[in-house]
Chains A and B, each alone.
Chain A
Amino acid sequence: MAQMLIGGEWVGSRSGDYIEVMNPATGEAVDTAPRGTEADAREAIDNAREAFAVWGEWTQARRADVLRRAVALFHQNEKELATLLTREQGKPLREATLEIRRFTHTIEYYAGLGKNIRGGYIPQIDENKYGLIIKRPLGVVGAIVPWNFPVSLMGNKIGPALLAGNTMVIKPAETTPLTDLRVVGLFLEAGLPKGVMNVVTGPGSVVGHEIVANPTVRKIGFTGSTEVGRRVMATAAQTIKRVTLELGGSDPMIVCDDADLDEAVKAAAVGRFFNCGQACLAIKRLYLFDSIADDFIEKLTTRVKKLRVGNGLAEGTMLGPLHSQSQRDEVEAQVQDAVDRGARVLVGGERLRGEGFDNGNFYAPTLLADVPEDARVATEEVFGPALPIFRVGSLGEAIAKANDSIYGLGSSIWTNDLARATRAAERLEAGYTWVNSAQIIYDELPFGGLKQSGYGKEHGIEAIDYYSETKAVVVATKKA
C-alpha cells in the first residue's frame, strides 16, 4: 500500500480511505494509494510553506547538488521505475524506460543551470541611480500532473521549480500515483529537505481543487485537458496565482510533394501511436499533398499494420492498451462519428478481442481516410490511436486547414524546399514546428502551446522565469 508524502513523512489520508490503482492491460489492482482530502492538501501546503523559509535560502549550487544526486538515483533505479510505470499506466516497457530517461534528463538539465540564475544590472537609469533586477522564488507551487506521462510531465515542473528555490505540492493523476511517489522518494534519498516536496494523492476535484484555490499556493503548473485547464485558470484567478498550462493539442503534420516519404512515414507512425496516442503533443491531423498521398498512405498503412499491440510488460509490444475505459469509449465514439459521416477505415477502427485483450482497454491503431472536415476527429483532440488523413492541393491550403483549430501545440512540415519550410515555421499557429523531424521534445527549447493549447512555457531556460518573480531595485548613490 503506497503512502503520500507530507512534510517528509509517508502518511495515509486523514480519511483513512484509499484508491485502487488498476493495470489498464489486465484490469488487476497494482496497489492502493490514499484518497487524500482537502485537509491533507492543506497540511501539505502548510509544510511546503514552512520548508520554503529554508529551501529558498539555500544557494543555487546546493540545490543543484541535490538534483544531481537524485539524477544518479534515477539512473540506478531506472528498470524498477519503468516497470512500475508500465503496470499503472499501460505503456510498453520500452516507452516507460524512455519516459524515465527523459525525466532524468530534464532534472539533469536544470541541475546544470545551478549557479546560473541571474538577475540584472542597469547602469545610470537616472542621475546617480542604478537599477538592479533581482530574481526571487515564488514560494509554494502546486504541480498537477496527468496520467499520460506521469513522470516526465512531473519532472518538467520539478526541475525549474526546485532549482529556482520554490517548494512544491504535487498532485499526481488519480490513476497513476505510484511511480510519482517512488520518484519523489528518491529525491528525499538524495538529500532534499523535508517539506520541500509533498505529494497528495486523490481526486482532482478535491485535492487538486484545494491546491488551486488555496491562497498560500503562489503558482500552479498544470498539464491536462483544455477543459480542466479552463477551470484551473478560473479558480487560480481568484487569488491571482501564476499559472502555466500545458493543455490539449491537435498537431498537424504536413507532407509536401518533395518530402522524404520514408522518413515522414516513420515520423507519422511514431508521432501518432507513441503512448497509444495519448499525448498532448502528437500528430493528430495528417495533411498530404495530392500527388504523394496514395504512395504515402500505402506505406503508412503497411507500417501501422505491423504495430504489435499487447500488454506493455510483454516483450515485443509496441502499443499498449488505452489508459482507461472511458478513454477508449471516447476514441470509439470519435471514430464512429467519422465513419457515420463517410470516412473510410484504412486499418483498425475496432477493439481487439481474445485472450490477453478482453480484460484490458485495447483498441487497434486506426487510420481514417476521406474524413470530412466537420468530423469530431478533425475538430476535437483525439487522445488515442486514431489518425485522420486529409488531402491538400497546396501548402497554402494545408496551412489554412492546419490553423483551423482551437489548438496550437505542435506541428510539423516535411519538405526540402526552403521557402516552404520557412513559411510553415512562420505561419503555423503552434508553439513548436518541426522541419523534417519527428516531433521530439528537447529540454533545451521552450515548449508550450498557443491558442487554447496553453499558457506559459515548460523546458528550456525560459521555464525558470515561470517559477521566479522579477523584482526591480533602484539604488540612489551620493552625488560624486
Chain B
Amino acid sequence: MAKMFITGESVEALSGETYEVRNPANGEVVDTVPKGNADDARRAIDAAAAAFDEWSHTTTEERARLLFKAAELVDGERKALAELLTKEQGKPLMEAGGELEHFHHGIEFYAGLASKVRGAQVPLPAKNAYGMVIRKPLGVCGAIVPWNFPITLMGTKVGPALAAGNTVVVKPASTTPLTTIRIIELMNQAGIPKGVLNVITGPGGVVGEELLVNPQVRRIAFTGESATGKHVAAVACGDFKRVTLELGGSDPMIVCDDADIQKAITGAMVGRFWNAGQACLAVKRLFVFDQVYDEFVNGLVSKVSRYEVGDGMSKAEKPKIRMGPLHTAAQRDEIEAQVKDAIDRGAKVLLGGARPEGAQYEKGNYYLPTILTDVAEDARAVREETFGPLLPIFRVGSLDEAIEKANQSIYGLGSSIWTKNLDNIETAIDRIEAGNVWVNSLHYGYDELPFGGVKASGFGREHGPEALDYYLEPKGVVITR
C-alpha cells in the first residue's frame, strides 16, 4: 500500500481509510492509497508552513544542489517509475519514459536558475535615498495536478516553487497518485528538509478544496479542466491567494498549400494522438488548405492507421505504434458522445469512431483513433475540448478563413501553422489567439519558453524563467540614509 508523504514521513490517512488505484488497460488494482480528508490536508499544510522559514532562508546554491540531487535520484529509478506510471495512467511505456525525461529536464532547469534570481537597485529622485526591488518566496504553495501527465505537470510546479524558496503540498489526481508519491519520496531522500515537499492523496473535492480554502496556503498552481479552474479561481482568490491556471484547450493547426505535407502529417498525428489525445496542449482542430486537402487527409489517415491500441506495457510490432486506453470509462463515454453528436450533425468517419473489438479490450477503456470530416461548426467536437483520440478536419480556402475559424473558440492555448511563406507566418503569429504558436513544429512545451493560455485556457505561465515570477513576490524597499 502506498502512503502519503508528510514532514518527511510516509503516513496513512488519519481516518485509516484507503481506496484503490486501477489500471485503465485492464481494470486491475495497481495499489491502494490513503483516502485523505481535510484534516490530512491541514496536517500537510501545517508541515509546509512550519518548514517555510528555514527553507526560504537557505542559500540559492543549497536549493540548487538539492534539486540536482533530487533529479538524479529520480532518474536512477526511471525504468521502474515509467512502468508504474503506465500501470496507473495507461500511457505506453515509451511515452511514460518520455514524461520522466521531461520531468528531469524541468527540475534541472530550475535548479540551474535558482542562483540567477535577481531583483534590482533603483536610483530614486529623493535626496539621499535609493530603492531596492527584492524578491521573496510566497510561502506554502498548493500544487493540484491532473491525471494526464501526472509527473511533468507536477514538475512544472514543484521545480520553480522549490527553487524560489517556497514549500509545497502536492495533490495528485485521485486516479494517478502512485508515481507521484514515489518521486516525492525520492526527492525527500535527496536531503530536501522535512516538510518542504509533501504529498497528500484523496478526493479533489475534499483534499484539494482544503488547499483552496486554507489561509496558510498562499499560492495555488492548478492544471486541469476549465470548469474546475473556474471553481479554483473563485475560491482561491477569495483570500487573495496567487493563482495560476493551466486549463483546457482546443488547439488549431493550420496547413497551408505550401506546407511540407509529410512533416505536417507527422505533426498532426503526434500532436493529436500522443497520450491517446488526453492532453491540454494537443491538435484538436485541423484546418487544411483546399489545394492540399486530399493529399494531406489521405496521408494522415494512412499514417494514423498505424496506431494499434493495447496495453501500454506491451510494445506494438513495427510499423505499428502503441496507443494506450483512455484513462477512465467516463473519459471514453464523453469522447463517444462527442463523436456521436458530430455524426448526428452530418460528419463522416474516415477512421475509427468506435471501440476496438475483441476479448482483450473488454476490461480496458479503449477507443480507436478517430478522424472526422465534414463536421458541422456547431458540433460538440468543435465547440468543446475533445480530450481523447478524436480529430475533426476542416477544409479552408484561405489563411484568413482558417484564422477566423481557429479563433472561434473559447480556448486559446496552443496553435500551429505549417507554411514556408513569411507573410503567412507573420499573420498567424500576430493573429491567432493563443498563448503559444508553433511554426512548422510539433506542439511541444519547451522548458525554455513560458507556457500558458489566453481566454478560457488559463491564467499565468509555467515553464521558462517566467514561471519563477509566479513563485516570488517583489518587495519594494526604500533606504534613506
A and B: interacting chains: yes
The residues of A with any CB-CB pair to B shorter than 8 Å are: 61, 64, 109, 111-116, 418-419, 422-423, 443-444, 461, 475, 477-478, 480
Tell me which residues across on chain A come within 8 A of B427, comparing CB atoms: 477-478, 480
Residue of A nearest to B429 (CB): A477
Q: How far is the CB of B350 from chain A (nearest CB, A)?
A: 35
Contacts A109-B115, A115-B447 given: A418-B479 contact, CB under 8 Å? yes
Contact of A478 among B113, B128, B426, B447 (CB under 8 A): B426
Known: A422-B479, A478-B423, A478-B427. A115 touches B116 (CB 8 A): no
> How many angstroms between the C-alpha atoms of A443 and B114 in the bound complex?
13
> Measured between C-beta atoms, what is the minimum distance from B11 to chain A in Å?
34
The 3 closest A-B pairs by CB, nearest first: A112-B112, A477-B426, A419-B481
Contact between chains at B426 and A113 (CB < 8 Å): no
Task: Tell which of B60, B105, B116 touches A461, judged by Cβ atoms closer than 8 Å.
Answer: B116
**A115-B448, A422-B479 given as contacts; is B426 within 8 A of A444 (CB)?**
no
Contact B423 A113 (CB under 8 A): no
B431 CB contacts on chain A under 8 angstroms: 480
Which of chain B's residues have a CB closer than 8 A to the CB of A112?
64, 111-116
Nearest chain B residue, comparing its CB with the CB of A477: B426
Contacts of A64 in B (CB 8 A): 112
Tell me, rounded to whole Å, the shortest Cβ–Cβ distance linking B460 to chain A: 20
A sample of 6 cross-chain residue pairs with beta-carbon separation below 8 angstroms, ordered by A number, consists of: A112-B112, A112-B113, A116-B112, A418-B479, A419-B481, A478-B426
Q: When chains A and B are docked, how far (Å) is the Cα of A461 from the Cα of B431?
A: 34
A61: chain B residues within 8 A (beta carbon): 105
Bound CA span A116–B467, Å? 13
B109 within 8 A of A: yes
| B112 neighbours in A (Cβ, 8 Å) | 64, 111-116
A418 CA / B105 CA spacing, docked (Å) = 44
Q: How far is the CA of A174 from the CA of B447 in the complex (A)?
A: 43
> Which residue of A418, A443, A477 is within 8 Å of B115 (Cβ)?
A443
Q: How far is the CB of A78 from chain B (nearest CB, A)?
A: 16
The closest CB in chain B to the CB of A112 belongs to B112
Query: Are the C-beta atoms of B423 and A116 separated by less than 8 Å?
Result: no
CA distance A61 to B447 in the complex (A): 10
Closest to B61 in A: A105
Taken together as a complex, chains A and B put the C-alpha atoms of A424 and B115 apart, in Å, by 27
CA distance A461 to B113 in the complex (A): 11
Residues of B within 8 A of A109 (CB): 115
Contact with A along B44-87 (1 / 0, CB 8 A): 00000000000000001000100000000000000000000000
Closest to B109 in A: A115
> B418-462 interface mask toward A, CB cutoff 8 Å, 1 = contact, 0 = none?
000001001100110000000000000001100000000000000
Number of interface residues, chain B, beta carbon within 8 A: 23
B465 close to chain A: CB less than 8 A: yes
Q: What chain A residues lie within 8 Å of B114 (beta carbons)? A: 112
Task: Identify the closest chain A residue to B121 (Cβ).
Answer: A425
Indicate which residue in B105, B115, B128, B465 contacts A444 across the interface (CB closer than 8 Å). Answer: B115
In the bound complex, what is the Cα–Cα distance between A115 and B111 (angstroms)?
Answer: 12
**Residue on B with the closest CB to A421?**
B481
- CB neighbours (8 Å) of A111 from chain B are 112
B43 → chain A, closest Cβ, in Å? 35
Q: How far is the CA of A419 from the CA of B109 in the complex (A)?
A: 40
Q: Which of B64, B112, B427, B447 has the most CB of A within 10 A?
A: B112
Residue numbers in B under 8 Å from A478 (CB-CB): 423, 426-427
Q: Which residues of A contact B113 (CB under 8 A)?
A: 112-113, 116
Q: In B455-481, which residues have CB < 8 Å from any A CB?
A: 465, 479, 481
> Chain A: which residue is nearest B447 at the CB level?
A115
Q: Which chain B residues lie closer than 8 Å to A115 at the CB level?
A: 109, 112, 447-448
CA distance A423 to B479 in the complex (A): 12
Q: Which chain B residues border A461 with CB–CB below 8 Å?
A: 116, 118
Q: Which of B85-107 contact A (CB under 8 A)?
A: 105
Q: Given A113-B112, A113-B116, list of 12 further CB < 8 A pairs?
A: A113-B113, A115-B109, A115-B112, A115-B448, A116-B116, A116-B448, A418-B479, A419-B481, A422-B128, A422-B479, A477-B427, A477-B430
Name the distance in Å between B122's Cβ and chain A's nearest Cβ.
14
A419–B481 Cα gap in the complex (Å)? 5
Known interface pairs A113-B112, A113-B116; A423-B481 also in contact (CB < 8 Å): yes
Q: For A422, list chain B residues within 8 Å (CB).
A: 128, 130, 479, 481
- Shortest Cβ gap from A160 to chain B (Å): 13
Contacts of A419 in B (CB 8 A): 481
Contacts of B116 in A (CB 8 A): 112-113, 116, 444, 461
Give the shortest distance, in Å, between A408 (CB) and chain B (any CB). 19
Known A-B contacts A64-B112, A419-B481, A444-B115; the reply to A116 vs B426 at CB < 8 A is no
- CB neighbours (8 Å) of B426 from chain A are 475, 477-478
Q: CB-CB < 8 A to A114: which residues of B?
A: 112
A467 to B130, CA, bound (A): 31
Task: Give bound CA distance, A475 to B439, whole Å.
Answer: 16
Q: How far is the CB of B419 from chain A (nearest CB, A)?
A: 13
A177 CB to closest chain B CB (Å) equals: 31
Bound Cα distance from A33 to B106, whole angstroms? 44
Contact with A along B143-169 (1 / 0, CB 8 A): 000000000000000000000000000
Cα distance, A23 to B130, chains bound together (Å): 51
Which of A111, A422, A443, A461 has the most chain B CB atoms closer than 10 A to its own CB?
A422
CB closest residue in chain B, given A110: B112
